[in-house]
Amino acid sequence: MKKYGWFILLFAVVQVRAQKFDSLALTPPMGWNSWNTFSVNIDEKLIKGIADSFVKDGLKDAGYQYLVIDDGWMAKERDAKGNLVADPVKFPNGMKSVVDYVHSKGLKFGIYNCAGNKTCGGYPGSRGHEYQDALLYASWGVDYLKYDWCNTEKLNAEGAYMTMRDALYAAGRPVVFSLCEWGENQPWKWGEKVGHLWRTTGDITNCWDCEDNHGTWSSWGVLRTVNMRKDIRQYAGPGHWNDPDMMEVGNGMTVQEDRSHFTLWCMLAAPLIMGNDLRSMTNQTREILTNKEIIAVNQDALGVQAMRYATVDSVEVWVKPLVNNEWAVCFLNLKSKTQSMDFNWQEHTITDVVANRTLDFKKETFQLRNLWTKKTSGTTAKPLQASVASHDVLVFRLSRK
């Protein structure tokens, strides 16, 4: 017995050493979440319909994987044993059967709760029930947890999220852990060891550049959301991503704005979580969401978030290093009218201190692949002359000649 003592001790230490699940979300998670369109009005029929659309409409094929139900899935009270219960009217067959259905489509299932006593919608929160809830999710086969920050009083954010991380780890089923703390306690500074993505801002809303004031809090348009956090790109990387919130593509902006929103999320290596009704989206919306060449920029294995390199005549130039010495460059027109531009590559030497790489157009010539028209034409040897519609983008993949 004595000679096995050390092994038993080592085994015990490994068992209790809590951590996040590694090797998950090595590229930004891709999926769908119910909140932006449906708020708490979700049910079994909707979720199954969305799962069907993932497959039927080519979203699964484009790389979307996680189907996440947000707030509103629970009954207002826990049961006699303190377990969470799915709302019996919305989910008459319980949650496990919904998870099984989603898994049967080759997808993964995500769920929502909150670090506080109650969720933002007033349903039972996980505070004090973290280990119990994690076990329940594992028994249902949950693969992703979005964990919110309402009703947390004076809780310490890092500590509260670590408790849930440890609970998930102890439950033993690998779960992508999405911290939804709105950037209030700078989660980019401590989030890497806790979760796989962290919200950097408050809630997004379906407009380009507005603030929607709800009294005690506001939700923010796409551009506001992007501009709110400027210096945090160095904190993102494989397995730990800055999350500027779920997408509003297909929820009412112009096609140019939707295209720019999607492109920016791809450039920012943001989680690509769709927020529209997939069952009724237009072809135009589907084409945006399933553009594999733009998605490849988001899913690039280097995992470096783009930087805003320059703003020339209200056209922003965003640059993202990619593997194999390739780059993505995006021109975004902020004006409310079409803007013509003349960008002489040769005048620019772009250094990225995060990736530790320099793009010197005098030393190297790159071929240009337009990722929306999907045409390869021209090189960086000649100035780029183009016009960009209002709130629209031009985005290129640059590869060596």
Instruction: Give CA–CA dist 244/235, Å, rounded.
Output: 13
Site for ligand GLA in 103-122 (CB under 6 A): 119-121
Q: Where would I find the beta strands (DSSP E) of 227-356?
A: 241-243, 272-274, 307-312, 315-321, 327-333, 339-343, 349-352
Angle at 352 between CA 348 and CA 358, to 5 degrees: 55
Could you identify the residue written with the tokens 């010495």? 325
Provide the 3-class DSSP secondary structure of residue 157: helix
Which spans in 65-129 are helix H? Answer: 94-104
Of 120-149, binders to ligand GLA (CB under 6 A) are 120-121, 148
The minimum distance between CB 249 and ligand GLA, in angstroms, equals: 16
For this structure, is 148 an active site residue? yes
Annotated catalytic residue within 57, 70, 133, 203:
203
Smallest separation (angstroms) from ligand GLA to the CB of 120: 3
Shortest separation between residue 328's beta carbon and ligand GLA, angstroms: 28
Contacts of 316 (CB under 8 A, 6+ apart): 308, 310, 330, 331, 332, 334
- Cβ proximity to ligand GLA, 225 vs 339, nearer residue: 225
- Minimal distance in Å, beta carbon 112 to ligand GLA? 6
Residue type, 140: W
CA 282 to chain centre: 22
Q: Say whether residue 71 binds ligand GLA (CB under 6 A).
A: yes
Tokens 């979300």 belong to which residue? 25
Q: Closest CB to ligand GLA among 115 and 332?
A: 115
| 16 burial via Cβ count (<10 Å: 0-12, 13-18, 19+) | exposed
Q: By CB under 6 A, is residue 316 in contact with ligand GLA?
A: no
Nearer to ligand GLA by Cβ, of 125 and 239: the residue is 125
Q: Which of residues 148-187 bind ligand GLA (CB under 6 A)?
A: 148, 180
Nearer to ligand GLA, 151 or 379 (CB): 151
- Active-site residue flag, 203: yes
- Closer to ligand GLA by Cβ: residue 58 or 121: 121
From the candidates 57, 148, 277, 352, give the one annotated as an active-site residue: 148
Residue 329 burial class via C-beta count within 10 angstroms: exposed 0-12, middle 13-18, buried 19 and up: buried
For residue 48, the tally of other CB atoms under 10 A from its CB is 16
198 binds ligand GLA (CB under 6 A): no
Least separation, in Å, of the C-beta of 215 and ligand GLA?
A: 14
For the record, the structure tokens of 213 come out as 């004031």
Give me the 10-49 binding string for ligand GLA, x by CB under 6 A, dash otherwise: -------------------------x--------------
Q: In terms of Cα–Cα distance, which of 36, 63, 40, 38 is closest to 49?
A: 38
Nearest residue (CB) to ligand GLA, 107 versus 114: 114
User: What burial class does residue 354 get, using C-beta atoms within 10 Å of its C-beta: 0-12 exposed, 13-18 middle, 19+ buried?
Assistant: middle
Binding-site member from 87, 203, 248, 300 for ligand GLA (CB under 6 A): 203
* Residues within the interface to ligand GLA (CB under 6 A): 35, 70-71, 119-121, 148, 180, 203
Catalytic residues: 148, 203
